[in-house]
A and B are shown apart, each in its own frame.
Chain A
Amino acid sequence: DAGVIQSPRHEVTEMGQEVTLRCKPISGHDYLFWYRQTMMRGLELLIYFNNNVPIDDSGMPEDRFSAKMPNASFSTLKIQPSEPRDSAVYFCASSRQGLNTGELFFGEGSRLTVL
C-alpha cells in the first residue's frame, strides 16, 4: 500500500502569493493531520480531521491559513497570502482508528520557502 503522499515536495514563492499544499492519506485511514515544522517552534499541529470533518483547528496560525478535506482521499492546506514567516516544512499524517495502535503515518513533507 502506498504511504501518505504529499505534493509539492518543494515550493518557493514570493510573499503575497497563494500556496496550496496537497495530501493523499493512506487508503482506509480516517484521521488526517497537518503539522508544521520549524527550527524555532518544532513540530506544531495545525489541524486534524476525522472522517473528513475538522475536529481541532486551534493550531491554525491565523485566517490566512485554511484546510479542507473534501473526501477521504484528499486534503489541502492553503496559505493566502503567504508571508516569509510561513517558511517551514509542512507534514501531513494519517492514522486509522480501530487498529488500536495510535501510530501516525507521515508523508515526506512539503518544504515551503516564502521570499
Chain B
Amino acid sequence: AQTVTQSQPEMSVQEAETVTLSCTYDTSESDYYLFWYKQPPSRQMILVIRQEAYKQQNATENRFSVNFQKAAKSFSLKISDSQLGDAAMYFCAYRTLPAGKSTFGDGTTLTVKP
C-alpha cells in the first residue's frame, strides 16, 4: 500500500521569505502523480502543483516549485516570497496510474507572519 508522510505538522515563515515543506512517500509503482493541495480555513481543498513521476524536470507554478527526488521518494514544496494568503494547511498526495485512488499525508499547517 502506498503511504505519504509529512514530517512537519506545523511550519512558520515570515512574509516575503521562502519556506520548504517536506513530503516522502512509499510505493512500488514506477509511474504515478504527486500533488500538493492547499486547504485554507474556508476548508475547500485546491490544487497547488502537480508532478508526473516520469518527468525529471521539477514542476513550477509561479511562486510554488517542487523538488522531486524519485529515487529517494521525496517531494518537497518550496514557496517563495510568502504571502499572508499562503497561510493554510498543505497536503502532499500520491495518485496511482491509470487513474486510481489518491493517498494523502497528514498535512502541514503553514503560518505566515507579517
Contact B97 A106 (CB under 8 A): no
Nearest-neighbor residue (CB-CB) of B91 within chain A = A43
Number of interface residues of A (CB under 8 A): 23
Contact B107 A42 (CB under 8 A): yes
**What is the CB-to-nearest-CB distance from B34 to chain A, in angstroms, rounded to a whole number?**
9
Contact B102 A42 (CB under 8 A): no
Task: Determine the distance from Cα of A43 to Cα of B91 in the docked complex, in whole angstroms.
Answer: 9
Contact A103 B50 (CB under 8 A): yes
Contacts between chains A and B (CB distance < 8 A), count: 56
Q: Which of A48-95 contact B (CB under 8 A)?
A: 48, 50, 55-56, 89, 91, 93, 95
**What is the CB-to-nearest-CB distance from B43 to chain A, in angstroms, rounded to a whole number?**
5
- Mask, B34-59, CB within 8 Å of A = 1, is 01010000111111001000000000
A binding-site residues for B, Cβ under 8 Å: 31, 33, 35, 42-43, 45, 48, 50, 55-56, 89, 91, 93, 95, 97, 101-104, 106-109
Q: List 17 A-B contacts (CB under 8 A).
A: A33-B102, A42-B106, A42-B107, A45-B101, A50-B99, A91-B45, A93-B45, A97-B99, A102-B95, A102-B99, A103-B47, A104-B37, A104-B45, A104-B47, A106-B37, A106-B44, A109-B43
